[in-house]
Amino acid sequence: MQSEQIQLVDQAIMSRHSVRAFLSTPIEPQIIKDILAVASRAPSGTNTQPWKVYVVTGQTRDTMIRRVCEAQMALTNDPSHAEHYQETFAYYPEKWISPFIDRRRENGWGLYGLLNIQKGEKEKMAQQQLRNFQLFDAPVGLYFTVNKMMGIGSKMDISMMIQNVMIAAKARGLDTCPQAAWNHFHPIVLDVLHAPEDEELVCTVALGYADPDHIVNTFITPRESVESFTQFLD
Ligand SMILES: Cc1cc2nc3c(=O)[nH]c(=O)nc-3n(C[C@H](O)[C@H](O)[C@H](O)COP(=O)(O)O)c2cc1C
């Protein structure tokens, strides 16, 4: 690979970060199709290509946001509703340990700090959580599903495909935010999507043009050094 190509690929990967404020500027459907076509070159175990993608815009987007925001607000007002909104798979552990909990806290407080949300400001936190279900104002929501009968491996496959989507979007001047938050509301999401019963929601991606003036988009997260997570065994 030529050094210019390396730079371009690295630049697309390095410049991706989770954007949490979008402009309402619509995206040409052909651009979304191109991104998905490129992303579908992702590998998958025995080339099963288990992913399905729902591209949600316009009225369907409005319905999705209205219904899930209503559910989230009801949940905030009465946490006992949580029993209706269980994830289909546990994304996070029940009991956290270091160093993961430390990084999680650093991430949360870093984001809240930028938004001037202090510890104990529950109303402000709830409003920020609700932003997830407004797709952070992105004009497009991508909802990724796999068939329920596929094993855990299909979640690896679709995750590789989703990363491709985010990088291919970045290369086209678009930004993204991967969102597991919607998974709690999978019965509503799948209903709005008219998805068949055998499908499971794995992840949502907000897609759009980043709002360059919003402070939340200046949030750049750190990474551990290669040495800290790698062993070279000769
Ligand atoms: C599978 C997955 C689910 C995520 N879910 C959410 C989410 O629901 N809401 C959110 O604001 N960010 C979400 N994120 C974004 C992470 O917080 C973010 O990737 C992480 O802090 C690293 O920052 P970066 O993406 O800007 O590099 C998610 C990321 C991944 C990979």
Domains in the chain, start-ordered, CATH in brackets?
A: 2-221 (3.40.109.10)
The count of other CB atoms within 10 Å of the CB of residue 166 is 24
Report whether 161 contacts 42 (CB < 8 A): yes
- Determine the pLDDT at residue 1: 77
Structure tokens, 67? 């219904």
Check whether 153 has a pLDDT greater than 90.
yes
- Determine the pLDDT at residue 50: 98
CA separation for the pair 21, 139 (Å, rounded): 11
- Determine the pLDDT at residue 234: 96
CA separation for the pair 194, 134 (Å, rounded): 20
The share of the chain scoring above pLDDT 70, in percent, equals 100
Residue 132 Cβ < 6 Å to ligand 1: yes
The share of the chain scoring above pLDDT 90, in percent, equals 97
Give the pLDDT confidence of 73-118 residue by residue, as tens digits.
999 999 998 998 999 999 999 999 999 999 999 999 999 999 999 9
**Ligand 1 center to residue 233 CA distance, Å?**
31
**Ligand 1 center to residue 136 CA distance, Å?**
13
Give Cβ neighbours of residue 174 (< 8 Å, ≥ 6 apart). 27, 31, 35, 207, 208, 209
Which single residue is written with the structure tokens 């949600």?
A: 56
Mean confidence (pLDDT) of the chain: 97
- Determine the pLDDT at residue 42: 98
The region, left, alpha or beta by phi > 0 then psi within -120 to 50, assigned to residue 58 is left
List the one residue out of 199, 189, 79 whose CA is nearest residue 135.
Answer: 189
Residue 107 Cβ < 6 Å to ligand 1: yes
With the most atoms of ligand 1 within 8 angstroms of its CB, the residue from 146, 177, 214 to mutate is 177
Phi (first) and psi of residue 147, to 5 degrees: -70, 135
Give the pLDDT confidence of 177-228 residue by residue, as tens digits.
999 999 999 999 999 999 999 999 999 999 999 999 999 999 999 999 999 9
Which ligand 1 atom is nearest residue 20's CA?
Answer: 11
| Burial bucket for residue 51 (CB in 10 Å: 0-12, 13-18, 19+) | buried
**Ligand 1 center to residue 177 CA distance, Å?**
7
Check whether 23 has a pLDDT greater than 80.
yes
- Determine the pLDDT at residue 11: 97
pTM of the entire predicted model: 0.97
